[in-house]
Amino acid sequence: MTRWLPHVVAVAAVLLVKGLLALSLGDVFFHGEELEKGTVAKALLDGIPVPPHQLAYHYYEGGGFAISHLTAIAFLVVGQNLLAHKLVSLLVNVAIAVAGVSLVQTNFGRRAAYVFALFYTLAPIGFQKLSLLNLGIHYETSLFLLLAFHLALRLVFDESLRPRTVFAFGATLGFGVFFNFQMIPVAGFTVAAVLVMKRRVLVGPGLVYLVSGALIGALPFVFMVATVGRDVFDIHGTALFGGDGEEVDRLARLNEYGTWLAEGRGVLGFALLALQVALPIGGGLYLARSRTAGTGRPRRAATTLLLYLACFTAIYLASPFVVGAGFKHFRLQRLTPFWILGTVLTSATLGALLAAASSRGRTVGRVLVCVLLLVGADASRRAIAEGRPGELSANVDLLRATRGFAYPEYFAKLVGHLPGTEREKLEVLIAFDEPVYEILYAAAAEAVYRRSETPSSEILLTLHAADPARWPAFVHGLGPHFLALDNGHLRQALARAGALAPELRAHAFEAIGRSHHWLIKPEEMAMELNRARGLGLPMAYYRGFGHRLYRSFRLDREAALAFIAEAPAEHREKLRAGYEDARVLYLLKRGDS
C-alpha cells in the first residue's frame, strides 16, 4: 500500500485544487479552440454523414481528435455542456500526475514522488490554468512524454525485463507521435538513450516488440496520412519539416513571457521565476554529479532527463514554431515539456536533499520545498479568486447549462474539409441534432457563404429550398456576405439589407449585427458601438449584437451587463434586450443534451 501512497496523494491533490479552480469559474475556459473540439465530439455523437477523419478540427492535431472522443463520452455521461470538458481535463490531469509520480518514485525515491505530487498540483499560475483547457495538444502530451521516459528508464535499469514493457514503450511512442508532433524528438531521444545504455534490450526479439508496439500505436497516424496526405504535416501553413516559420526573436519573446510570469511582483517575482528555472537545471547537474544522491540509477536518470531538456531547448530555438505574441497563459503550451520535466528534476533534487546525510542539506531541502509550495499555493489562491469560489453550486449549474460546443468557430474549419457544392456542404452542416435550429442554421449559412461569390438572390433560393418552412433562420448567418458586398461598411450594408423584401429585412439586420467584422472582443465591440452613434440602428441589429455579447461573456453575465452599462446611452436598452434574448437561446435546457 505504501508504494501507491504518493499516487493517492497526487490524485487527491489534483482533484481538490484543480477541481476547485474549474468549479470556481476561474480563467480556465474557451481558450485555444476548446469549444471547437467539443463540437467535434458532438459531430461524432450525432452521426454527421461524412467520413470520421474529416471531422477533425485540424488534421495535424491527432491529440485534439483523440480528446474529442473522450469528450464525446463525457457528453453522454453529463450532457453536452462545459462541465463535461472540465471532467475530461481533470481525468487527463490525474493521468499525468500518476505517470509523473511513477517516473519520479521509480528513479528518485518516495520523498521525491511526494514532492512531485504537490509541485505538479501547485504549479506556476500559467500552467495551472493551461492544465484545465480541454484541447488535446501540447499540455496533454505530457502524459506520453512522462510515460516514454518512465518506460525507457525501466528498460535500462530493470533486470526482470518483460516483453510487454518493450511493447508498451513502442506503443507509447507510436500513439504519442500521432497525438502531438512534439513526441517525435522524444521518441528519437528515448530510443537512442536505451540503445546507448542497454543495447541488448532493443535487439532481436526486443526490436520486434518495439516495432510492433510502435506500429500499432501509430495506426491512427498512418490512417490520417493515407486519407489526407501531406495536410497532416501542414501546421497553420508552416511545414513540420523545413520551410520558413515566423521571423521573431525567440529569446526576446521568452523574456516577455518571463515578465508576465513574474506577475508584477518586481525583484521578488523575478527571483522566484529564476529559482523555478534554475532548480531543474542546477538540480539535474547536482544529481548527475553527486555520489551521495543514491545509487547509479538516480544519477543516470537525471543525466538522461537533463540531456533531453538541452535537446528540447535547442530544437525549440531552431524550430519555425514559437510561442505567440500578446501573452496569455495558453500560449505557454509549447513550453510544457520543459516545465514538466523541469518539475521532475526539481522534485528529484529536493527529494535527494530531504534524504541527505547532513542536517544542512536536509534544511536546505525543507526551505526550498516550503518556499516553492507557498508560491504554488499563492498562485492557486489567486487563480481561484479570479472566479466565484463562494458560489460553487450556482457555478456547477451554469457549467451544466453552458454549451460545450460552438458551431460557428468549428464550421469555419469543417467546411474546408467537405467536398461538393455549397448546397451539399450546407446539408452536411445542418445534420447536427440541434433543438434550437436558429443557432445551427445561422452558423451553417455563415460558414458556407462567408466567402462565396454566388449572387445573393441565388443564395436565398438555395436556403429556401433547404428548409422552406424555417429558411429565414439561415439568413441570420449571412452577415459576412452582406458586409462583404459593401467592403465592410456598416451604413451601406444596413441600407442594402433595408432594400430586401419586407419579410427578410429584420433577419438581414440581425445577420449584420451578429457578424459585423466578426468582432467579439469587448474592446472591439465598444469601438463599433462608438462609431455607430447616431445611425439609428434597428432593434434587429441589436438582437444580432446580443449573440456576440453572449459569446464574449459566456460565463460572466455581470461582466456583460457592465459592458452594456458603459456603452453609449442610445444603445444600452436595446443592447440589454438583445443580450438577454441571446443568453436564453444559447443556454441548454433540461433534455437538450
Dihedrals phi, psi of 357, to nearest 5 degrees: -70, -30
Question: How high is the pLDDT of residue 319?
Answer: 72
pLDDT tens digits for range 527-584: 888 888 888 889 999 999 999 999 889 899 999 999 999 999 999 999 999 999 999 9
DSSP states of 568-585 as a string? -HHHHHHHHHHHHHHHHH
State the Cα–Cα distance between residues 269 and 385, nearest whole angstrom.
19
State the Cα–Cα distance between residues 243 and 349, nearest whole angstrom.
40
State the Cα–Cα distance between residues 373 and 343, nearest whole angstrom.
12
Residue type for position 65: F
DSSP states of 86-101 as a string? HHHHHHHHHHHHHHHH
State the Cα–Cα distance between residues 88 and 134, nearest whole angstrom.
7
CB proximity list for 298: less than 8 A, separation 6 or greater? 107, 108, 109, 287, 348, 352
Give the bridge partners for 234, in sequence order.
239
Does position 263 have pLDDT exceeding 70, yes or no? no
77: its cell numbers: 455521461
Residue 243 CB neighbour total at 10 angstroms = 12
Contact of 429 with 444, CB cutoff 8 Å: yes
pLDDT band at 3 (very low <50, low <70, confident <90, very high): confident
- 78: buried, middle or exposed (CB in 10 Å: 19+, 13-18, 0-12)? middle
Question: How high is the pLDDT of residue 63?
Answer: 92
Give the bridge partners for 81, in sequence order.
403
Mean pLDDT is lowest, of 40-44, 173-177, 324-328, 476-480, for 324-328
- Most confident range (mean pLDDT) of 214-223, 306-315, 317-326, 482-491 is 214-223
- Spell out the alpha helix ranges (H) of 24-109: 34-46, 62-78, 82-108
Contact of 443 with 407, CB cutoff 8 Å: yes
579: its cell numbers: 443580450
Q: Tell me the residue length of the chain.
A: 593
Does position 524 have pLDDT exceeding 80, yes or no? yes
Contact of 353 with 361, CB cutoff 8 Å: yes
Instruction: Tell the residue number behind the cell numbers 452521426, with chain if given.
Output: 47
